[in-house]
Amino acid sequence: MIAVLGEALVDLLPAGRPATYRARPGGSPANVALGLGRLGEKVHFYGGLARDEWGRWIGDRLREAGVLAHGPFTDAPTPIARVEMRAAGEADYRFYLRGTAFEAAPWPEVDAGVAALHAGSLAAALEPAAGEVWSRIEATDAFVSFDPNVRPGLTPGSFREVFWNRREKFDLLKLSNADLDWLAAAEDRAAALARLRRRVPWVVLTLGAAGAVGFYGRHEVHAPAPAVRVVDTVGAGDAFAAGLLAWARRAGVLAGAGLDRADLEKALNCAGWVAGLTLERAGADPPTRTELATSGGNVCEA
């Protein structure tokens, strides 16, 4: 079982006319949990969930994917991210978190016997959620996957110190070029990446349309992005993370198996294809295992 810790919210996506939006369930960790569930993994989600109509909608969607949501459940409203699309389908976000389910605490304890714990995004950077997330990361002996998913202007500068001081807890770190640049601050990107690789066994850097590069031990593999028709980029990084974790579980990596160069390439290709199918849809709408098999053959076979 994979435990996912973090925020669940509603994305308000542009609906094609000025000042009109359509609502879609979102939140980076909730998207990862959804993606894992749709890929056939056993998943438990921990994070604030509202009892309002939107919160029930998010919960129902997770449940339909086989994800068990633990809450905490609250009468506070569902948090919102308003999405503005830039050129090439890239998204900017404005978040509304104060006084919402994002701030619900305390969280339930993670079930014993988890194979992996995935966390990151705003819940790892903003209190009170951050205290809940990091206490569980510090306490676990399971495989830890982390995606910082930095939001400039909202992620506090103090998160840099938290991240660098605790990076040794990560077994898998997935981050984007933009994340790395923000976390590195004045440090050269290459130097920051080298510093990460000295402490984190498996690092994956996503490069947008240029694909992704993975590092494991002495192995370095670049995987190009699949050729897809991009509708928007919302949720693509989260789908990539779900693809990595699903592949890792099937390959035995969560149970301690290492990766050779061929394994690393397979993992990146699987994650890239899961993300690619998500890019072809509006909002965070990752594929099911059946859809993946139909469109990509055996690309995600471990």
pLDDT at 300: 82
In a domain, 140, yes or no: yes
Which positions of the chain have pLDDT values less than 50?
A: none
In a domain, 9, yes or no: yes
pLDDT at 15: 76
Amino acid 54: pLDDT: 97
Tokens 């790395």 — which residue?
180
Mapped onto helix, strand or coil, the DSSP state of residue 286 is: coil
CATH of the domain at 282: 3.40.1190.20
Rounded to 10 deg, the angle between the 159-166 and 129-139 helix axes is 10
Q: What is the Cα–Cα distance from 175 to 172, expressed in whole angstroms? A: 10
Residue 89 is assigned to a structural domain of this protein: yes
The secondary element (H helix, E strand) that includes residue 174 is strand 172-176
- Label each residue of 77-132 as H, E or C: CCCEEEEEECHHHCEEEEEECCCCHHHCCCCCCCCCCCCEEEEEHHHHCCCCHHHH
What's residue 297's pLDDT? 57
* Cis peptide bond N-terminal to 77, omega within 30: no
Count of domains for the chain: 1
Residue 301 within any structural domain of the chain: no
- pLDDT of amino acid 282: 82
Catalytic residue among 238, 260, 263, 285: 238
The pLDDT value given to residue 88: 53
Could you confirm whether 181 is annotated as catalytic?
no
Question: Domain residues for 259?
Answer: 2-296
In a domain, 259, yes or no: yes
Q: Would you say residue 107 lies in a domain?
A: yes
Is 302 contained in some domain? Answer: no
| In-domain check, residue 42 | yes
pTM, rounded to two decimals: 0.95
Whether the CB-CB separation of 113 and 42 falls below 8 Å is answered with no
Cα pseudo-dihedral 234, 142, 178, 101, rounded to 10: 50
> What pLDDT sits at residue 244?
97
Residue whose entry in the numeric block shows the structure tokens 């510090």 = 138
Q: What is the pLDDT of residue 224?
A: 94
Convert the pLDDT of each residue in 247-294 to its tens digit: 999 999 999 999 999 999 999 999 999 999 998 988 888 999 998 888
